[in-house]
Each structure stands twice: as structure tokens, then as C-alpha cells.
Amino acid sequence: MRRSIGRTGGAVVSSSLNEVVALAPLDALPPDSLHACDAPVDGENEPLILYRDPQGEVRAWRNVCPHAGRRLDFAPGRFLRSKAGELVCAVHGATFALPQGNCVAGPCRGDCLRAVPVHVAEGEVRLGDAG
């Protein structure tokens, strides 16, 4: 079975072990870009951040700030970046290094975004490790 996951707000249902969960077409993520989507993680529909680094590798984290548990984007899929290219939480300004996802400044300095495994196959970003 296969499911496609749209941008934030799209309908998401739980996944089974054999289910392919497509998060986004790879073409939707230019190098050094951030993208938001929802996906079933540990049985819950979770907002995610996808980041494609300048070398083309894609990473994902839960879209939950370790400071106060809020989403990092100021509108669905709209993220703040520092002049140095770091990801900045829109709520209180915690600043996260990319591609590592660790907080380097702000109220949760030293904490990290929670990583979610993703891989790229057949031109799309998929949930989970490559199998």
C-alpha cells in the first residue's frame, strides 16, 4: 500500500510496516530548502520539517521546538532563516544549525530537534530508513 502526504493540513492516517509513505516529491525541495508536511510517526500524525542540504541529502525532524513545544514555522511551511542560514523558531527565536538540527542560540541552546528517519526513492522523499 502507498500513501502520499501533502503539505501541512493534509489528511494522514496511520501507516503499517509495509506501507510506503511519500512525504514530498524530491523536486519540491531545492538544495538548502525547508519544507513542512505531516506524517504518521509512532502512531500519531506529526508535523515534520524536511530539509534538503546543499549537497542534496534530505533530513527530517519533528516540527516541534524543544523550548516550548510549538511549531517552528510562522505559517504552514514558512520558516525563518538567519543570515547565516540557520533555522529560527518563529515563536521565541531559538536558532538551529543546519543540517545538524541542534540549537545554537536562544532559550533551548544545547537541545536538538527530534530527528525522523527519511530516505529518497523513485524521486520522492519517503518516511523511514531505506529498506
Binding residues (CB under 6 A) for ligand FES: these are 65, 67-68, 70, 89, 91-94, 106-107
Cβ proximity to ligand FES, 93 vs 117, nearer residue = 93
CB of 88 to ligand FES, least distance (A): 9
Q: How many residues does the chain have?
A: 131
CB of 108 to ligand FES, least distance (A): 6
For residue 125, the cross-strand partners are 24, 120
Number of C-beta neighbours around residue 115 at 10 A: 12
Sign of the C-alpha dihedral, residues 8, 116, 121, 131? negative
What is the distance between the alpha carbons of residues 14 and 109, in angstroms, rounded to a whole number?
A: 33
CB of 6 to ligand FES, least distance (A): 25
Cβ proximity to ligand FES, 13 vs 115, nearer residue = 115
